[in-house]
């Protein structure tokens, strides 16, 4: 994977809005943005309604993902271009799902909604009608998904990358600062995790920094290229953004996203937690 295959620019997107076989998909938690105006031709996926299991604490399984994409009129051989708000957090999360379920050609729109808005490009409120398909998802590729036991075993062994804000890492805040702070779980981070906020990888307009800048950021932060890597945040969407950078842009092997992230880890009984700005000891 590389920037050329994983990412498209807003210019490319604008030139390919009507290209057969290219499907634009807006992914957000709050889909009122889509309803108020979206990239012409784009279908919407609601991160919470469409991508989470309604009962179990997990995301949609292989059958549910197949049914969702069939219903949205997306085929296995379509080129899927994902974008969204929040600097593409949820679009990156969806990208990770598409990869997990074996979709061949999936790309992120660099800068997402923000770049599109700041460039003053056109939106529409028209909702496209796409014929249903028979999408067939592959079995989940667990080489890109980390679970809690593996994360505990990775302490002091693998690269653990905490991509939350510095205050969340240190335990001074429990959630991003645009959300109320009352939460039930413990604060802090996984011992030996390095702190590289997801935002380090993005420019102010939401586009990704250059490969050279990205390589320097993670190198300077102490990411060891010879080790496997697990990225985490609070609920797994910001860490999808960083997973995308490390795996898809920089081409690092063996990078997993821990989607359970701090909401799970910070609620586990008996696991070690580090407080403060330093990674801490294993």
The residues assigned a catalytic role are 233
> Of 38, 114, 158, 247, which lies in the binding site for another protein, with binding defined by CB under 8 A?
114
Q: What is the nearest approach in angstroms of another protein to the Cβ of residue 36?
A: 9
> What's the half-sphere exposure (Cβ side, CA atoms, 13 Å) at 249?
25
179: left (phi over 0), alpha (psi -120 to 50) or beta: beta
Q: Which of positions 173-212 make contact with another protein (CB under 8 A)? A: 173, 175-184, 197, 199, 204-205
DSSP state letter for 59 = B
Whichever of 155 and 279 has its CB closer to another protein, that residue is 279
Site for another protein in 235-264 (CB under 8 A): 235, 237-238
Put residue 85 in one of left, alpha, beta given phi > 0 → left and psi -120 to 50 → alpha: beta
Minimum CB separation of residue 5 from another protein in Å reads 27
Contact 251, 1 (CB under 8 A): yes
From the list 3-11, 80-88, 136-144, 218-226, the region that binds another protein by CB under 8 A is 80-88
Among 72, 103, 145, 234, binds another protein (CB under 8 A): 234
Longest dimension (CA), the chain: 55
The single residue listed with the structure tokens 């890109």 is 144
Residue with tokens 């390589």: 215
Provide the 8-state DSSP code for 53.
-
The structure tokens listed for 14 are 């604008």
* Shortest spacing between CB 242 and another protein, in angstroms: 14
Q: 23 with 79: CB under 8 angstroms? A: yes
- Per the listing, tokens 């413990």 go with 186
Which two structure tokens, joined as six digits, stand for 249?
């842009």
Question: By C-beta, is 137 or 196 nearer to another protein?
Answer: 196
Interacting span for another protein (CB under 8 A) from 96-104, 222-230, 233-241, 273-281:
233-241
CB atoms within 10 A of CB 193: 24
Nearer to another protein, 129 or 177 (CB): 177
Q: CA 119, 83, 76: angle at the middle one, nearest 5?
A: 140
In whole angstroms, give the CA distance from residue 138 to residue 117: 35
Nearer to another protein by Cβ, of 66 and 88: the residue is 88
**Closest CB 234 distance from another protein, rounded Å:** 7
Tokens coding 202: 């993005």
In the complex with another protein, which residue's Cβ is closer, 81 or 235?
235
Angle at 123 between CA 118 and CA 128, to 5 degrees: 145
* Binds another protein (CB under 8 A): choice among 88, 159, 165, 242: 165
Asked if 138 is part of the footprint of another protein (rule: CB under 8 A), the reply reads: no
- Of 179 and 282, nearer to another protein (C-beta) is 179
The residues of the shown chain that bind another protein, judged by CB under 8 A, are 28-30, 32-33, 47-48, 85-87, 89-90, 114, 117-118, 120, 165-167, 172-173, 175-184, 197, 199, 204-205, 234-235, 237-238
């Amino acid at each position: 994977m590389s920037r050329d295959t994983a990412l498209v620019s807003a210019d490319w997107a604008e030139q390919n809005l009507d290209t057969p076989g290219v499907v634009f998909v807006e992914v957000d938690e709050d889909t009122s943005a889509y309803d108020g105006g979206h990239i012409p031709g784009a279908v919407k996926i609601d991160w919470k309604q469409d991508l989470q299991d309604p009962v179990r604490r997990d995301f949609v399984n292989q059958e549910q993902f197949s049914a969702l994409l069939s219903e949205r009129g997306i085929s296995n051989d379509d080129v899927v271009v994902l974008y969204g708000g929040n600097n593409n957090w949820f679009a990156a999360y969806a990208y990770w799902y598409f990869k997990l379920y074996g979709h061949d050609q999936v790309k992120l729109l660099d800068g997402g909604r923000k770049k599109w808005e700041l460039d003053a490009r056109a939106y529409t409120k028209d909702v496209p009608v796409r014929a249903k398909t028979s999408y067939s998802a592959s079995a989940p590729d667990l080489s890109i998904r980390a679970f809690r036991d593996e994360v505990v075993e990775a302490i002091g062994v693998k690269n653990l990358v905490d991509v939350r804000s510095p205050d969340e890492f240190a335990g001074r805040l429990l959630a991003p600062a645009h959300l109320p702070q009352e939460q039930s779980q413990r604060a802090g981070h996984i011992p030996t995790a390095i702190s590289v906020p997801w935002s380090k990888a993005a420019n102010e307009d939401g586009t990704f920094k250059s490969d050279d800048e990205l390589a320097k950021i993670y190198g300077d932060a102490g990411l060891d290229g010879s080790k496997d890597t697990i990225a985490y945040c609070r609920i797994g969407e910001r860490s999808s953004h960083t997973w995308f950078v490390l795996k898809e842009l920089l081409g690092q092997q063996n990078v997993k996203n821990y989607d359970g992230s701090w909401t799970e880890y910070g609620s586990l009984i008996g696991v070690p937690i580090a407080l403060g700005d330093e990674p801490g000891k294993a």
